[in-house]
């Protein structure tokens, strides 16, 4: 249906459009796969655990304040390019309404909503919380908890992306 190049490269809106097409074509079949049935709820649980950890560290207000300053935070339009059609499809399988939140000429990531990122699972670079605001404001044990939670999400989403890609490519 799509080449690897088309799934992972191209403009942000092209990858979003491809993800919608994949969801329409494969969504129900993917949700019926035993491996997806097993792993999707696990990913959901892990992503909620990561959100709880971030909330406990006040990261949402920290990032909001950072994003409002000149120069902005991490969620730039450039970062939106890190998304790909398979990751967006995975969000759709998790029940997320994946849609651009911004005008085309915005300098912010199109998936950044009023309450923060609208994606449940995000590109790997968005899970890298190595900025000085976070590193200097938290004890090592708290940072370790954050890293553990983020790594667990990343492993789970990578495993699911491989299953999804395998199914799409073999169809």
Interacting residues toward ligand SF4 by CB under 6 A: 62-63, 66-67, 73-75, 79-80, 109, 111-112, 117, 119, 122-123, 126, 129, 131, 133-134
Cβ–Cβ < 8 Å for 92, 27: yes
Please calculate the CA angle 116-86-167 and round it to the nearest 5 degrees.
145
Residue nearest to ligand SF4 (CB): 73
Give the helix ranges, DSSP H, for 58-139.
59-68, 77-80, 85-93, 132-136
Cβ distance 168 to 26 under 8 Å? yes
15 vs 122 by CB, closer to ligand SF4: 122
Which residue's CB is nearer to ligand SF4, number 63 or number 168?
A: 63
CB of 76 to ligand SF4, least distance (A): 7
Measured CA to CA, the distance from residue 85 to residue 2 in angstroms comes to: 10
We find the least distance from the C-beta atom of residue 42 to ligand SF4, in angstroms, to be 21
Measured from the CB atom, the residue of 23 and 122 that comes closer to ligand SF4 is 122
The structure tokens 């908890």 sit at 145
Least distance to ligand SF4 from the beta carbon of 135, Å?
9
Tokens coding 50: 């990561």
Closest CB 31 distance from ligand SF4, rounded Å? 23
Which of 22, 123 has the CB closer to ligand SF4? 123
**Structure-token pair, residue 80:** 């939106």
Closest approach of ligand SF4 to the CB of residue 28, in Å: 26
Q: CA 61, CA 28: separation in Å to the nearest integer?
A: 37
Nearer to ligand SF4, 37 or 64 (CB): 64
CA 25 centroid distance within chain: 21
In the beta sheet, which residues pair with residue 51?
Answer: none
């Amino acid at each position: 249906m799509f080449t690897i190049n088309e799934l992972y490269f191209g403009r942000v809106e092209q990858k979003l459009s491809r993800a919608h097409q994949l969801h329409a074509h494969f969504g129900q079949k993917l949700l019926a796969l035993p491996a997806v049935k097993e792993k999707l709820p696990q990913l959901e649980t892990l992503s909620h655990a990561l959100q709880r950890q971030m909330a406990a560290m006040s990261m949402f207000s920290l990032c909001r304040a950072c994003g409002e300053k000149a120069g902005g935070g991490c969620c730039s339009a450039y970062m939106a390019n890190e998304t790909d059609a398979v990751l967006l499809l995975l969000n759709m399988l998790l029940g997320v309404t994946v849609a651009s939140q911004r005008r085309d000429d915005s300098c912010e990531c199109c998936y950044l909503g009023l309450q923060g990122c609208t994606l449940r699972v995000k590109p790997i670079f968005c899970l890298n919380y190595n900025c000085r605001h976070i590193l200097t404001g938290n004890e090592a044990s708290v940072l370790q908890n954050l890293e553990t939670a983020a790594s667990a999400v990343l492993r789970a989403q990578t495993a699911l992306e491989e299953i999804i890609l395998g199914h799409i490519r073999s169809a």
